[in-house]
Amino acid sequence: MTLTRMRLAEGVWEGLLSARAATVTPRLRIRHRDELVGEPETVAAPAGEGGGPRWLVRFRLPVDRLSDGVQTFVIEDAATGDALAHETVVAGEMLDDDLRAEVSLLRAELDLLKRAFRRHCSEG
């Protein structure tokens, strides 16, 4: 599956999810600081050039999670925990560079890897 960011407008994130083959609408989750904060709306979209199924994915950024600093929201496949996309929001004082945003994204990805590793160890 591939989730392509389209836009963020009026606090609503939108993306296009495409898959090679799927019989059911995929379940997605949104994480912030390794906590589940919701599930995006997923609506069927017209098939792409390759003929595979596609879905419009939308979610409103949770206002209670926005504060000064860098906040990263990760959209993941609920079945596998794989990260498909992310949205980083910087609030408060302007940053000279994006280093803090990158560190926040790396932290979110590391949390995903830790969960996958723990799941792998518990299955084996």
Residue 95's pLDDT is what? Answer: 59
Output helix, strand, coil percentages for the chain, rounded to the nearest 5. 25, 45, 35
pLDDT for residue 21? 75
Segments making up each domain of the chain, as ranges? 2-123
Q: What is the pLDDT of residue 24?
A: 83
Three-state DSSP at 91 gives strand
pLDDT along the chain (124 residues), means of 10: 94 93 86 93 86 92 89 93 92 66 85 91 82
Tell whether domain 2-123 is in CATH 3.40.50.
Answer: no
d(CA 106, CA 112): 10
In terms of pTM, does the model score above 0.75? Answer: no
What's the first-to-final CA gap in the chain, in angstroms? 26
